Amino acid sequence: MDHGAESYLRFLAGDDNGMVELIRDYKDGLMLYLNGMVGNIHVAEELMEETFVRLAVRRPHFRGRSSFKTWLYAIGRNLALDDLRRRRREDPADPELLVREADAETVEAAYLRDERSRTLHRAMGRLHPEYRTVLWLVYFEEMDNAQAAVAMRKSKRQIENLVYRAKQSLRTELKKEGITGENL
């Protein structure tokens, strides 16, 4: 369980310091993320505050299907999209709002991709060096098993077994990061 999830669970259990820690740890990054969506630092700050108010008042259940940070940013993203839609209804002639809303989807996709990439690299960093090497060669360098065998000075059969064990080990590490079977 990551630190944010622990702080949130402590807050839910009645420890107000848990919310203080969440705000301290996530407010700046969340505000910058939201600013990228809405294009106004003051609106982003209000949305960031609203996100933490929503956590404090509504106390939504964190299921752990992603990292706490991803879950928190998704709440903020939804609030930002609602704000963009509301502003578009108030001033439908503003083409920038339409572009911002479309960009918000792109920003979210890029953020989730970056978050998954960081999680993957963290998990791979904890693997046995031989596992890390074979996964890198096969999946990132796109070598076939025969090419990886030459690079690692192993037989093709050894590489097949090594890839299988490395994937199993990586799957275990990713589960520790909160990424389950549906997200692998």
Per-residue pLDDT at 1 exceeds 60: no
Domains of the chain, by residue range, sit at 1-125, 128-184
Q: Report the pLDDT averaged over residues 69-75.
A: 87
Tally of CB atoms within 10 A around 131:
20
pTM of the model: 0.52
Classify residue 177 by its DSSP letter: T
Q: Rg for the chain (alpha carbons), in Å?
A: 21
- Please determine, looking at this structure, whether the domain spanning 1-125 carries the CATH number 1.10.1740.10: yes
Fold of 128-184: Arc Repressor Mutant, subunit A (1.10.10)
Mean of pLDDT over the chain = 82
| CA distance linking residue 26 with residue 45, whole number of Å | 12
